[in-house]
Amino acid sequence: MERQARRAQVLRHAKRIFARKGYHRTNVAEIVSQARIARGTFYLYFDNKKELFEELLEQVLRELAARIRRIQMGPGEPSPIEQLRANLRRVMEFVMAERELVDILLNHSVGFDKNLDARIQEFYERVAAQIKRSLDLGIAMGLVRSCDTGVAARCILGGVKESVAQLSRGAGAEVGEVVEEVLNFGLRGVAQPELSGHLAAGV
């Protein structure tokens, strides 16, 4: 088996074990057994369990970042709402395809390593900043009400993270339904239109 293929095999089995048992309860012996390789072979690719775990987290961060694209304006570009919908769909489809990886990011990484925590937090900060830019643009275009877009962006991000967590566990609706609900919540909230009008008027 080629070196890269064997390394990918180790990562594939390791992510399933980490997702099921968490970082601290997983050991190299179990990974080696599931991957059906010699213990010495494991150390040809990774110095230790921590290095392998970091590689898996980097994978999911790269994949998610690649799927969240900045809103573009200009002739021939889809509407901002359509671009937001496409971003959400790409993220949710990745979640469904890579549930183990996403589960590791959401449930098993916090407090694991200060440097790794900082990279994960930086990723979420980038996503929140992208949402904020989209909201600022929406306000300028008259599509979004005046609001604290920083706070609103974090509310939306929190909702997306929880929806992603539910999808990764196989719970809830289909991807398309989740995308539409998250998008509608971000754009309209939960109030009936007439109530929203009363609230806007201070009634």
State pLDDT tens for residues 45-87: 999 988 898 888 888 878 888 888 877 878 898 888 888 889 8
Residue 179 within any structural domain of the chain: yes
Residues 69 and 96 in one domain: yes
Instruction: Residue 5: give its domain's CATH number.
Output: 1.10.10.60
Domain holding 14, by residue range, is 1-46
Q: Which helix (H) or strand (E) holds 117?
A: helix 114-140
pLDDT given for residue 151 in this prediction: 93
Q: Are 109 and 121 in contact (CB under 8 A)?
A: no
Q: How many domains does the chain have?
A: 2
Residues 34 and 134 in one domain: no
Residues 35 and 91 in one domain: no
Residues 61 and 39 in one domain: no
Q: Look at residue 200 and tell me whether its pLDDT is greater than 60.
A: no
| Amino acid sitting at position 36 | R
pLDDT given for residue 203 in this prediction: 42
Which of 54-63, 106-115, 125-134, 145-154 is predicted with the least confidence, judged by mean pLDDT?
Answer: 106-115
Residue located via tokens 């987290």: 57
Residues 106 and 20 in one domain: no
Instruction: Residue 96: give its domain's CATH number.
Output: 1.10.357.10
Residues 63 and 86 in one domain: yes
**Candidate ranges 6-10, 158-162, 173-177; pick with highest mean pLDDT:** 6-10
Q: Is the pTM of this model over 0.85?
A: no
pLDDT given for residue 195 in this prediction: 54
88 is written with which tokens? 């959400």
Residues 70 and 154 in one domain: yes
